[in-house]
């Protein structure tokens, strides 16, 4: 495990405040960061160093909690504690706020674009998940307000290829939603975590979903379609989701984020014990009861809680992380020999 995760560089991205989240653009050339200083910064490489290409500072009145790039890479959405989601349009190095999505009653905790680029989801402490449709004229319309969770919703993420939405909540559950006719409905509730679920990540195939929690565990859930070979019961035509693996005993504090590399399948976690960990599925493990091994453990990855980990979508092994100390770090992950 020694040297499987190596530091490449560190930048003080949000001086005197926390850096809450990071997002790589679809081509992996830019990294957006956001934080407690209410700003969004866009980072790019110049030779061997990371430099700040743009600062988006007039958009929000409070902490910017998450940012997300559209699949085409021309837009960036930002979710803020000021209850608003901003949509920024990229024009070379400039970003212009073209729309603000209002409606949530209080802090917006997450925003995510569907792979089609036509749908956006947001979630909030007001316990709801909103689905928005975008048309060719960049007009946004809220098409559904989903109030299935009983508490603060922390994160939303879209399935990599289907129009399936997942949300994670302070109510300790994960919920899944799909379109039914003109509306969206909650089609599954995943129970098992014993405390707040902070984040989610689908595997490259979309068959499995990883969740991470304040209960210090990671759970892997698998989708079972009606009529599946394993005999997992489904109600009606909706798939069932079953917890097929729990990773416990590895993290010593709340796990704030999880990222599943779409290129290599490696699973990275961001933890409140200041560490970054990487897990890989053991080769030959039973798909219905997989086992994962810890392949990297970077203690003191940051001097404070790690809030986010993000795999570069084009460069295998390149991982970015950010922390309460305001720093962003770049790492190179090498799968240990023998895997």
Q: Name the site residues for other proteins (rule: CB under 8 A).
A: 18, 36, 62-63, 65, 81, 106-107, 109, 125, 152, 154, 170, 195-196, 214, 252-253, 272-274, 303, 305, 324
Q: Is 69 helix (H, G, I), strand (E, B) or coil?
A: strand
Torsion of CA 80, 150, 259, 276, to 10 degrees: 90
Alpha-helical (H) ranges within the chain are none
| Residue with smaller CB distance to other proteins, 14 or 90 | 14
Q: Which is nearer to other proteins, 107 or 327 (CB)?
A: 107
Is there a contact between 281 and 294 (Cβ–Cβ < 8 Å)? no
Rounded to whole angstroms, the Cα distance separating 242 from 282 reads 20
Least separation, in Å, of the C-beta of 108 and other proteins?
10
25 or 167: CB nearest other proteins? 167
Sheet holding 30-35, edge to edge: 19-24, 30-35, 40-46, 49-56
Least distance CB 153 / other proteins (angstroms): 12
User: CB of 167 within 8 A of CB of 153?
Assistant: yes
How far apart are alpha carbons 301 and 272 in whole angstroms? 11
CB of 115 to other proteins, least distance (A): 27
- C-beta closer to other proteins: residue 214 or 281: 214
Exposed/middle/buried for residue 102 (C-beta within 10 Å: 0-12, 13-18, 19+): exposed
Number of other residues whose CB lies within 10 A of the CB of residue 47: 5
Task: Report the nearest approach of other proteins to the CB of residue 129 (Å).
Answer: 17
Three-state DSSP at 61 gives coil
Q: From residue 209, how far is each of 61, 71, 246, 259, 267 by CA, in Å? A: 34, 20, 12, 10, 11
Minimum distance between the CB of residue 128 and other proteins, rounded to whole angstroms? 16
Which is closer to other proteins, CB of 107 or CB of 203? 107
- Considering the complex, state which of residue 107 and residue 280 has its C-beta at the smaller distance from other proteins: 107
Nearer Cβ to other proteins, position 41 or 109?
109
Nearest distance in Å: CB 339, other proteins: 29
Cβ at position 64, least distance to other proteins in Å: 11
């Amino acid at each position: 495990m020694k040297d499987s995760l190596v530091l490449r560089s560190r930048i003080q991205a949000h001086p005197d405040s926390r850096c809450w989240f990071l997002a790589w653009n679809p081509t992996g050339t830019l990294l957006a960061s956001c934080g407690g200083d209410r700003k969004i910064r866009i980072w790019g490489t110049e030779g061997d160093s990371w430099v700040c290409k743009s600062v988006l500072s007039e958009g929000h009145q409070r902490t910017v909690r998450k940012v997300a790039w559209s699949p085409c890479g021309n837009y960036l959405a930002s979710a803020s504690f000021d209850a608003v989601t901003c949509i920024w349009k990229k024009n070379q190095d400039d970003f212009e706020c073209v729309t603000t999505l209002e409606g949530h009653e209080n802090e917006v905790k997450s925003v995510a674009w569907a792979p089609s680029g036509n749908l956006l989801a947001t979630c909030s402490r007001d316990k709801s998940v909103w689905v928005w449709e975008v048309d060719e004229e960049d007009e946004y319309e809220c098409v559904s307000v989903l109030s299935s969770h009983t508490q603060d919703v922390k994160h939303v993420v879209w399935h990599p290829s289907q129009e399936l939405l997942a949300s994670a909540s302070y109510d300790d559950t994960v919920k899944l939603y799909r379109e039914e006719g003109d509306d969206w409905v909650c089609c599954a509730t995943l129970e098992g975590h014993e405390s707040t679920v902070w984040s989610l990540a689908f595997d490259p195939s979309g068959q499995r979903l990883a969740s991470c929690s304040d209960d210090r565990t990671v759970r892997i859930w698998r989708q079972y379609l009606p009529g599946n070979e394993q005999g997992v019961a489904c109600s009606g035509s909706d798939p069932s989701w079953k917890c097929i693996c729990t990773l416990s005993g590895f993290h010593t504090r709340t796990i704030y984020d999880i990222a599943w590399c779409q290129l290599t399948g490696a699973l990275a976690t961001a933890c409140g014990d200041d560490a970054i960990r990487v897990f890989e599925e053991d080769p030959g493990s039973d798909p219905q009861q997989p086992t994962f091994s810890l392949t990297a453990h970077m203690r003191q990855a940051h001097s404070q809680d790690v809030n986010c980990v993000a795999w570069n979508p084009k460069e295998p092994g390149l991982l970015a992380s950010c922390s309460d100390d305001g720093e962003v770090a770049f790492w190179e992950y090498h799968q240990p020999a023998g895997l």
